[in-house]
Amino acid sequence: MNIAHYVERGHRLLPNKIALIFEDKSFTYKQLDELAGRVANGLKGLGIKKGDRVALFLPNIPEFVISYLGILKIGAVAVSINVMLKTAEVSYILNDCAVKAIITTESQSEQISEADLPELQHIFIAEGKANKGTTLAQLIANASPESPALEMERHAPACILYTSGTTGFPKGATLSHGNVIANSYAANRCYRLSKSDRLLLYLPLFHCFGQNAILNTGFSACATIILYRRFDLEKLIEDLRRYQATMLFGVPTVFIKMLNKDIYAKHLKSIRYYFSAAAPMPIEIAQKWHDKYGDFIHEGYGLTETSPFATYNNDLNYKLGSIGTPIDNVEIQIVDSYGHQVQPGELGEIIVRGPNVMLGYWNRPLETAAVIKNGWFHTGDIGRMDEDGFFYIVDRLKDMINLSGFKVYPTEVENIIYQHPAVAEVAVYGVPDPIKGEIVKANIVLKAGQIITETQIKEFCSPKIATYKIPQAIDFVSGIPKNPTGKVLKRLLRQGRTPNLSPIKMLTNS
């Protein structure tokens, strides 16, 4: 098996069918497969082989898709990197999995510090000038388009997608060819995909949602992917009519924006299916959407570690507010702190078992063992199951912040803010936001005699971490609530309760 077989099958059976549309370009399944073949042969010519890691530090452009498929064809492992990460974050990931080659753009290459990357041998620029390395076009210029995908074992690594760690260091969730193919099969059945479908894809390809739940699943049915560099609501509305798109995927923020835009039903006439994931959909938004347009927004639940699909709330028996029932071949339980299954209606941790569960975290056996026990992946999410077997997300065991589907771990942000010489203590946590779901907030205690502004803190963070991780709200306080053992009580911070502590009035601009 090989994930790249999807496109090879499209080439063989429907060579002239449009596989990918991007701005003013389109690619048939034949063209896409041949371009991927050129990348595969170009990489092989440089000595890149089965099992080697090749990074994709790219926005949503066709070169991401072509390079991804080329990497998989030769049995190498595709490492997807969030384009919003900065130099230190990128270096950490590249070194962590010993990447041999990276495919990026001229602008993104500025975040690649070659001096800090002893294993990196090649840099390829897919867009813009090659101020570092060489161009992707040069790599594939004289390469053969024929490169049948290697047959891989079910448990052979296919891709690594990094998730932020509670320790402040990202972990590489390693997904196998079997993981992704099983997940695409299940998603295909849920979506009821056919070759006539046209899927809008503006969610980032470096994220598991965009990469697997949309791109790979779409290719598995020989459907057409309409790719966008970024989310642009006006462009999206225009293209709904232009391309007669049939499927719209998004995070809750997108559907909220569409409701606020007051889009007419006639603009959505071609859409037969809506799907939301990556963050909980507010019940009131789902209800408003159905009341206005007469269609359900289907929901799924999962994590990068589950490839990502684990449950689906479908139209056979749709339950408002539920994340649905397990997808094909996947089991889900709610367990207590001892790992014992609880009764329907009782709260506990959501655990998942099935062919969608990752191989583990790259080179992190201890952290893998902490979350995968007897084949069950422990999600760290609190939920419940009703009498009909439908599941619901209630809360999180972890302190992770979910901002428009992007995951932010407080410790990582705290580690950066602690580097500022004026900071004595900091606690970072999420607070509710009507559009983004949550935003990042920080409570900061300054050292005696120090004065600093909110703007200065943000400017200090800017070159060190991705923009979405920077606190949008900052309170300067006299202290941070803790329990008797010294653990910060973030539950109280999220609730806005800070007993016996008072805010310090500060200027908000320098």
Give the pairing type, strands 101-105 and 53-57: parallel
In sequence order, the 6+-apart residues with CB closer than 8 A to the CB of 428 are 401, 410, 411, 413, 414, 417, 440, 441, 442, 471
Which of 123, 152, 181 is the last residue before a domain boundary? 152
In a domain? residue 264: no
In a domain? residue 213: no
In a domain? residue 452: yes
Burial of 254 (0-12, 13-18, 19+ CB in 10 A): buried
Instruction: List the one residue out of 302, 303, 355 whose CA is nearest residue 173.
Output: 303
**What integer pLDDT is reported at residue 496 of this predicted model?**
78
State the CATH number of the domain containing residue 469.
Answer: 3.30.300.30
In a domain? residue 290: no
Question: For the CA atoms of 419, 423, 424, 427, what is the dihedral angle to 10 degrees?
Answer: -80
In a domain? residue 344: no
In a domain? residue 378: no
Residue 396 in 3-state DSSP?
A: strand
How many domains is the chain partitioned into structurally?
A: 2
Parent domain of 433: 401-494
Radius of gyration of the chain (CA): 23
In a domain? residue 319: no
Tally of CA atoms within 13 A in the half-sphere of 373 that contains its CB: 11
In a domain? residue 59: yes
In sequence order, the 6+-apart residues with CB closer than 8 A to the CB of 476 are 444, 445, 446, 452, 454, 503, 504, 506
**What integer pLDDT is reported at residue 241 of this predicted model?**
85
Give the pairing type, strands 18-22 and 25-28: antiparallel
3-state secondary structure 164-175: CCCCCCCEEEEE
State the CATH number of the domain containing residue 1.
Answer: 3.40.50.980
**Measured between alpha carbons, how far is 296 from 192 in angstroms, rounded to an integer?**
15
In order along its 510 residues, the chain shows pLDDT tens digits of 999 999 999 999 999 999 999 998 999 999 999 999 999 999 999 999 999 999 999 999 999 999 999 999 999 999 999 999 999 999 999 999 999 999 999 999 999 999 999 999 999 999 999 999 999 999 999 999 999 999 999 999 999 999 865 455 789 999 999 999 999 999 999 999 999 999 999 999 999 999 999 999 999 999 999 999 999 999 998 898 899 999 999 988 888 888 878 787 888 999 999 999 887 787 888 888 999 999 999 999 999 999 999 999 987 888 988 999 999 999 999 999 899 999 999 989 999 999 999 999 999 999 999 999 999 999 988 889 999 999 998 766 667 788 888 878 787 888 899 899 999 889 899 999 998 889 999 999 998 899 999 999 999 999 999 999 999 999 999 988 876 445 678 878 888 766 555 555 443 333
**What integer pLDDT is reported at residue 486 of this predicted model?**
53
**What integer pLDDT is reported at residue 316 of this predicted model?**
80
> What's the gap between Cα 26 and its chain centre?
25
Which of 135, 152, 169 is the last residue before a domain boundary? 152
Residue 139 in 3-state DSSP?
A: helix
- pTM here? 0.85
